[in-house]
Structure 1
Amino acid sequence: MSQLPLRAQLATALGRTAATLSRATGRGDGSVIGGRIGLMLDPDLLRKLAAHRKLALVSATNGKTTTTRLIAAALQELGEVATNAFGANMPAGHVTALASAKNAPYGVLEVDEKYLPEVLDTTGAQVVCLMNLSRDQMDRAAEIWLLAQKWRRALSGKPAHAIANCDDPLVAWAASTAARVTWVAAGQRWREDSWCCPECGGPLDRPEPGTIGQGIGVSSAAGAMWACRECTFHRPEPNWVLDGEEVIDPRGTRWRLDLQLPGQANRSNAAMALAVAAAFGLEPARALPRLRTVTSVAGRYTTVERDGRVLRLLLAKNPAGWLEAFDVTDPALPVILSVNAQVPDGRDTSWLWDVDYGVLKGRPVVVTGERRLDLALRLHVAGVPFQLCDSFGEAVSAVPAGRVDVIANYTAFQQIRAEFGRAV
């Protein structure tokens, strides 16, 4: 802190005080208000706090909070790490994260997709992790092609090292202007937003769904798994490959993940995290044990109890996220679904019609949340029987004692977390 100018020191101190008061009064975790106060007093505070640190920025539509947590856990092997662990992923949250660990030589910051160009320019981060792009909050986030274009322009001319998922064509196109790229074959199960070439608009030839990262060999994983029919744009050659339960590093060594976090999506997140750790000079042998200690991320996958029910909390914000949430649910268990449409969720709920809720047939389904009627109509059309409840408490009472899966979108998820003391 002594290296900061006096004004920046004062802004940081007052921001920390505001964050502490926010937590003490139960108004929130302080991740945003502290940064806002700091930036009001010194608009250049983020740049000053980022100086002299080695930073990684993590951005995606899905999985960025978890991947940020995994990378931060790995880099703790090297020293103290500043990170926005609770998902406050805009500049105010970044200021709070860096100010809270003022002497940390490393930083891992989750960044909202729209803010990535601004944050990269401000912080001068050395590493940028780009994982996926799919439609999300269309009423305020715009078309994902526009986001990919902004990423592409932001990386052009910068010295940043991009760690990018080569299985997502939009990410591959966005990252291709970076000065240096490490390509990770992390898979892409949701493909409904990437059937056209972002370079020329022509059709992309794609393999059958489910063939990437699920039991494929090294030779097939290294091939061009997608390509444009009308121009030269094609899948880059991967340096890292997710192969089922293992990750293959650039030397061809296989590393079994053995994560405590469930599902294919988290194995993809871990593959990205290992590649980022390697960019910091940390080998998989040292990074993997750290990744295996992560059991919950800002409430995701947390298990809580109420009235004899053991509830596992899962977050799903958009069609791609619901696909991954269904992947980790237990088909033998009842499931509670909760959907809101507040500003952080996006007001438009038309995305519900892109989710295949038919996978829930045959299990007890309970629906709640502010937009429960929207979800109820979607389930009715899909032929999925359900019970409608006015509140989360009523929904919990509607299922029998025992284990239950709970899937909620962003603000619904945060409301549920608040009922259990924001379990992490």
Structure 2
Amino acid sequence: MTDARMPLRAKVASSVSRTAAALSRAAGRGDGSVIGGWIGLKIDPDLLAHLAAGRAIALISGTNGKTTTTRLTAAAVGVLGPVATNSFGANMPTGHTSALAKAGSTPYAVLEVDEHYLAQVLEATEPRVVALLNLSRDQLDRAKEVSMMAQLWRAALVRHPGIRVVANADDPMVVWAATPPQQRSDHLPPPSITWFSAGQRWHDDSWVCPECGSPIERSGEQWWCTGCPLRRPTPHWVVEDDGVVDPHGAWHKIVLQLPGRVNLGNAATALAVAAQFDVRPTDAVGRLSSVTSIAGRYAQVTRDGRNIRLLLAKNPASWLEAFDMAEHAPTLLSINARDPDGLDTSWLYDVDFSPLRGRQVLITGDRAYDLAVRLEVNDVPFQHVRSFGDAVGSVPPGRLEVIANYTAFQDIRAELDRVN
């Protein structure tokens, strides 16, 4: 909805939100994407709904890959015109409010949504489509258990039967969440579900069927419950070699500036979501290559003859993907346990660090000693360094891969920004 058509209170709230965000940026206190939305919602609790009205909106949610998939989807939908998006990853209602207020009147919006807030944001924005990427364990001291999260998603979608769903066919928890309970078919039309296949390397949160509690078995890409009809649906969009096959069987080569097969899966998701806006894959694929560093993720920086690449990994599933992306080169691992990371580091024992054997491994961060014990258990030799600068000085010229959890990643980004 444009400011001209909004109620007076919403107009004031939107204006104050933009001003607060701009002041925050000018003061060097961040991008303003949280404080602007927070103030706007204090003035008008319905501001997000007012700002969403009149736009065709896509929501992107999941444990991992939300920020990257959102950026790729916004690029694809951008074929049609201006797209509002929370490109810096502020994925709660404050961030959504700030992003829409800052964007002004745009016909489209693509919003990353924290999985815990999906039901709330569905209610406020009434999107055209929601993309469900994956569900896995995350921040053990405060995140909901995976099956509980799937139940919340399923209940939210039951309340919004008209929303188109784009969902990951390879994740049993996502398939169950996206598929309506049997009784819905008695009085409501079946939901519109588009399935994509991006692969699922992490299986440890989906060995038990969320419907009946029986074991889930796998053979190749297929999976099925041994006690009920839940099984992998036939996907409409499939990653194949270095491209994506669309629902009509046409193969589209994907050229990305982002590493790893996981980002081919993110690209397939983006194309599937964009298709819900009637964007043809042939028009969208060229735009995907414009996406490079995402809030510092995958950024490459040269310092003292070292080509440093930053990879964010915040939970066991994303660490597994980071190992897949990283080259066989000296690798720095950095672990903190501050509030945004979660205070419990026992999740380190869910990660298999054996792929790092045979390369130079350095460790740092607030909880480097926790990581040291874990690497000893996995028989991975390492060197402890006190700072990022010490790490750079400890490796030969060439590639240095850096894998860090959230606040450790931000610390290293800040250090690089100071130097460069």
TM range (shorter): over 0.9
Measured in 2, the distance between the counterparts of 1:56 and 1:84 equals 12
Give the structure 1 partner of residue 184 of structure 2: none
Partners of 2:225 and 2:175 lie apart in 1 by 13
1:258, distance to aligned residue in structure 2 (A): 2.0
Corresponding residue for 1:181? 193
Give the Å deviation of 1:422: 9.5
122-131 or 394-403, larger mean C-alpha shift: 394-403
Q: Is residue 2:354 matched to residue 1:358?
A: yes
Q: Are 2:255 and 1:258 aligned?
A: yes
- 1:162 alignment partner in structure 2: 165
State the one-letter code of the partner of 2:293.
S
Consecutive unaligned residues of structure 1, counting only runs of 5 or more, are 213-224
Aligned pairs, number: 407
Secondary structure of the corresponding residue to residue 122 of structure 1: helix
Confirm or deny that 1:398 pairs with 2:394: yes
Name the CA distance, whole Å, in 2 between partners of 1:383 and 1:186.
31
Question: Over the residues paired in the alignment, what is the CA RMSD in angstroms?
Answer: 1.4
Q: 5 Å matches for 1:267-282?
A: 267-282=264-279
Separation in structure 1 between the aligned mates of residue 408 and residue 364 of structure 2, nearest angstrom? 9
Q: 1:151 Cα deviation (Å)?
A: 0.3
How far apart, CA to CA, are the structure 2 residues paired with 1:69 and 1:5? Answer: 31
- Using the TM superposition, give the Cα deviation of residue 34 of structure 1 relative to its aligned residue in structure 2, in angstroms: 0.6
Q: What's 1:199 paired with?
A: 211
Q: Is the 8 A contact 1:14 1:37 kept in 2?
A: yes
Alignment of 1:126-165 (within 5 A): 126-158=128-160, 159-165=162-168
Question: What is the aligned partner in structure 2 of residue 312 from structure 1?
Answer: 309
Tell me if the contact between 2:255 and 2:288 (Cα under 8 Å) persists in the aligned partners: no
Secondary structure in structure 2 of the residue aligned to 1:383: coil
Q: 1:236 aligns with which of 223, 233, 236?
A: 233
Q: CA deviation at 1:307?
A: 2.4
- 2:337 alignment partner AA: A
Q: List alignment gaps of at least 5 residues for structure 2.
A: 181-189
Q: Which amino acid in the other structure matches residue 369 of structure 2?
A: L
C-alpha distance in structure 1 between counterparts of 2:47 and 2:75, whole Å:
26
Deviation at 1:282, TM superposition (A): 0.1
Q: TM-score, normalised by structure 2?
A: 0.95
Q: Secondary structure at the match of 1:35?
A: helix
Residue 376 of structure 2 is aligned to residue 380 of structure 1: yes
Alignment partner of 1:412 is 2:408: yes
1:128: Cα distance to partner?
Answer: 0.2
State the distance in 1 between where 2:27 and 2:396 align: 36
Counterparts of residues 273-352 of structure 1 (less than 5 Å): 273-331=270-328, 333-352=329-348
Instruction: Give the direction of change, closer, same or farther, for the CA distance of 1:23–1:70 in structure 2 (3 Å limit).
Output: same
Contact 1:157 1:179 in 2 (8 A): no
Note the C-alpha offset of 1:64.
Answer: 0.5
Q: Deviations over 1:137-195 (max 9, x none)?
A: 12111201100000000001311100000110000000112721111122111111111
Deviation track 1:17-36 (CA, whole Å, cap 9, x = no partner) reads 11111111111111111101
Q: Does 1:71 align with 2:83?
A: no
How far apart in 1 are the matches of 2:297 and 2:418? Answer: 11
Checking the alignment, whether the CA contact within 8 Å between 2:140 and 2:347 is kept in structure 1 is no
Q: TM-score, normalised by structure 1?
A: 0.94
Q: For residue 145 of structure 2, what is the amino acid of its counterpart?
A: E
- Measured in 2, the distance between the counterparts of 1:279 and 1:394 equals 49
Whether the 8 Å CA contact 1:130–1:164 is kept in 2: the answer is: yes
Alignment partner, residue 186 of structure 2: none
Is contact 2:82–2:106 with CA below 8 Å preserved after alignment?
A: yes
Deviation track 1:226-266 (CA, whole Å, cap 9, x = no partner) reads 11111111111211112231211111111111222111110
Distance of 2:128 and 2:394 partners within structure 1: 50
Return the letter of the residue paired with 2:234.
E
Q: How far did residue 293 of structure 1 move?
A: 1.5
Does the 8 Å contact 1:302/1:313 carry over to 2?
A: yes
Alignment pair present for 1:83 and 2:95: no
- Tell me how far apart the structure 1 counterparts of residues 61 and 417 of structure 2 sit (CA, whole Å): 28
Q: Does 1:98 align with 2:95?
A: no
Change (3 A) 1:250 1:377: same
Task: For 1:216-235, list aligned pairs within 5 A.
Answer: 225-235=222-232
**Which residue is equivalent to 2:39?**
37
Q: What is the match of residue 26 of structure 2?
A: 24
Give the equivalent residue in structure 2 for 1:55: 57
Asked if structure 1 preserves the Cα contact closer than 8 Å seen for 2:73 and 2:274, the reply is yes
Report Cα offsets for 1:83-135 as digits up to 9, x if no partner: 00010000000001101111111000000010001100111111000011110
Matched residue of 1:226: which SS? strand
Deviates further, 269-278 or 3-12 = 3-12
1:180 counterpart letter in structure 2: S
- Displacement of 1:296 in angstroms is 1.6
- Shift of the 15–392 alpha-carbon distance from structure 1 to 2, 3 Å rule, reads same
Q: Is the CA contact (8 Å cut-off) linking 1:156 and 1:179 kept in structure 2?
A: no
> How far, CA to CA, are the matches of 1:239 and 1:422 in structure 2?
46
Residues 139 and 341 in structure 2, CA contact (< 8 A), matched pair in contact too? yes
Quote the Cα distance in structure 2 between the aligned partners of 1:255 and 1:364. Answer: 38
Aligned twin of 1:219: none
